Structure 1
Amino acid sequence: MKRTLLLLWLILVPGITFAAPQGWAPLLEPAQLSELLAGEQGIRVLHLTGNYDEGHIPGAVSAPYGQFRGPQENAGQLPALPALTRIVQELGITADSPVVLVHGGSGSVDMGASTRVYWTLKSLGVETLAILNGGFAAWQAVGLPVSAEPVSVSASDFQPQWSDMYRVTTEQMEGLVDGGDAQIIDARPQPYFVGEQASAARAGTLPGASNLSFESLFDGNRMKSGDEMGTLLDAVVVPNAALTVTFCNTGHLGSIDWFAISELGGYENTRLYAESMAEWAMDPDRPMINEPANN
């Protein structure tokens, strides 16, 4: 009964969606974004990582990734709703704003900034979201315009309401691990999954977890898409799982897996354990597997 109630509580009814601009997709190539910006008014482009002052997409607003993260001891923690409300209002975002997220493009790890903010904004009720594949570096690589002029925007009066539709808390994760009721996916590279490396308090992974390293989702700095991504996910993700949960150390890499599975793969009921191993491993009584002492 406890397991059943937990799953019923987690699986919520989707909310209202807004019409996206023609040609919109969760993952945009530079040419696609350029065409959208040329034809659509009101698209908000957020520059998350890299040196904004040295160059950015014309019209992009500086939105440093760090403001969307938790404290140093656990960056995966969510800022409080009032802080997130202030951030989205200062960025001029409303529930129906089309928002494109742009990381610097320094590597596949860097894309976690875009996927984590995408997940955060979607949880706040922003429906029309996209990520620039390859980030600002990909934009520059094809010779598209670059600006060094800072952009300011008028604040919105958006009052977001946080939805746990895409999130699993530590308490919920304990119940899912205990009951075996979810497909749990570790997004970290294999050495972390098998306990050979660690950046949390303990090495190892969650009981019942499988490994889909975020690195496998990329060709170089660009995320796979289309049939290539679909084939990769179909080989790993259980299609009829009641719930799929991704995690990593601080919810950064785990959000990459979440984005691929949920937004590109279309697998329903995919959630992110945002606090991930940084919080889980703090309690020595929480079970883990692949710990070095147990190998």
Structure 2
Amino acid sequence: MTNVQFVVSSAWLIQHLHDPQVVIVDCRFSLADPQLGRNQYQASHIEGAYYLDLNLDLSSPVGEHGGRHPLPEPQELAEKLAAIGVEFQKTLVVAYDDSRLAFAARLWWLLRYLGHEQVAVLDGGFSQWEKAGYPVTDVIPSPQKASFVPEVRPELVVDREVVKNRKDLPNVVLIDSREGDRYRGEREPTDKIAGHIPGAVNYYWMEVTDASGSLIPITEHQKRWQPVESSEEILVYCGSGVTACANLLSLELAGIHTGKLYAGSWSDWISY
């Protein structure tokens, strides 16, 4: 997995831990306990890693529409990235979490949305890093100064209107990334209404990794997306636009570049 663009291994990262061209970002988070990730980071993290919070940094405040995790304002996120030393289109950002890429993939997608392709996720996340015996610390790194002027790529994202108007076209596929029982409407732990957007097919985001949090082999990503690979447009959603990013990463690893994020996702869809 180490040579694949968008993914680095712990073994690669330990070799590049002090590389000035690499910035590590801890994205650990818990939807059930929003303070947990930050607390875990403060207790122990990969040396040199900065923390970005899903709610405070990687999302905007929640409104009536837009879902539970609206996209952050590009300029605000750009300033936060500059303050941790990310030089636009130069620095390699390595994102990790401990949730099978649920939150690291969100940062991976956001950086590409801002026009910064130099971003990878850490395969296996924090627990694999620890398991390998690599160093952790509780030392918080100092703020940095860099220049990050985003070049937003609006073509990577769609809103409710676009989904409504395009989802039933012959060359468009709509992907629901949630668990099968949520997709089928048998269980809904978070949102007010159960079910899925009419016409969506279900690809559970957790199938992108194995039980240990490591990405499945590239050939498996390719096989997984074979039924939809020839689509002109693949619109991907989940509950709030976070875990859908794991599927978008999987599509890219499979060599399919037609994936777009419905940022508001199910929580936006049902707000109308």
Confirm or deny a common fold (TM above 0.5): yes
Task: Name the amino acid aligned to 1:62.
Answer: Y
Question: 2:51 maps to which residue?
Answer: 62
Alignment TM-score, normalising by the size of structure 2: 0.86
Task: Name the amino acid aligned to 1:101.
Answer: A
Residue 140 of structure 1 deviates from its aligned partner by 0.3
Residue 152 of structure 1 deviates from its aligned partner by 1.4
Task: Name the amino acid aligned to 1:94.
Answer: E
Matches within 5 A, 1:134-153: 134-153=124-143
Residue 180 of structure 1 deviates from its aligned partner by 5.1
Question: After alignment, is 247-256 or 214-223 more displaced?
Answer: 214-223
Name which of 82, 86, 92 aligns with 2:79.
86
Unaligned runs of 5+ in 2: 29-36
For 1:238 and 1:177, the matched residues in 2 are separated by: 13
Larger radius of gyration: 1
Question: 1:170 maps to which residue?
Answer: 160
SS in 2 for 1:192: helix
CA contact (8 A) 1:69 1:76 kept: yes
With over 3 angstroms needed to count, the CA separation of the structure-2 counterparts of 1:181 and 1:281, relative to structure 1, is: farther
For 2:243 and 2:173, the matched residues in 1 are separated by: 17
CA distances 1:83-120 after superposition (whole Å, capped 9, x unpaired): 222222222212221110011x1x33xx2110111111
Question: 2:93 maps to which residue?
Answer: 99
Residue 178 of structure 1 deviates from its aligned partner by 5.2
For 2:193 and 2:171, the matched residues in 1 are separated by: 24
CA distances 1:232-290 after superposition (whole Å, capped 9, x unpaired): 333xx41210101111110111111111112x11102111111101000111xxxxxxx
Task: Name the amino acid aligned to 2:148.
Answer: F
Name the structure with the higher helix share.
1
Question: 1:204 maps to which residue?
Answer: 195
Unaligned runs of 5+ in 1: 1-21, 284-295
Matches within 5 A, 1:231-242: 231-234=223-226, 237-242=227-232
CA contact (8 A) 2:108 2:120 kept: yes
- Identity %, equivalent residues: 24
For 2:202 and 2:3, the matched residues in 1 are separated by: 33
Matches within 5 A, 1:272-291: 272-283=261-272
SS in 1 for 2:155: helix
1:47 aligns with 2:49: no
CA contact (8 A) 2:60 2:73 kept: no
SS in 2 for 1:122: helix
Matched residues, number: 254
Question: 2:33 maps to which residue?
Answer: none
Question: 1:289 maps to which residue?
Answer: none
Question: 1:17 maps to which residue?
Answer: none
For 2:93 and 2:105, the matched residues in 1 are separated by: 13
For 1:192 and 1:100, the matched residues in 2 are separated by: 31
CA contact (8 A) 2:79 2:148 kept: no
Alignment TM-score, normalising by the size of structure 1: 0.80
Question: After alignment, is 238-247 or 163-172 more displaced?
Answer: 163-172
Name which of 104, 113, 118 aligns with 2:103.
113
For 1:203 and 1:180, the matched residues in 2 are separated by: 26
For 2:75 and 2:9, the matched residues in 1 are separated by: 33
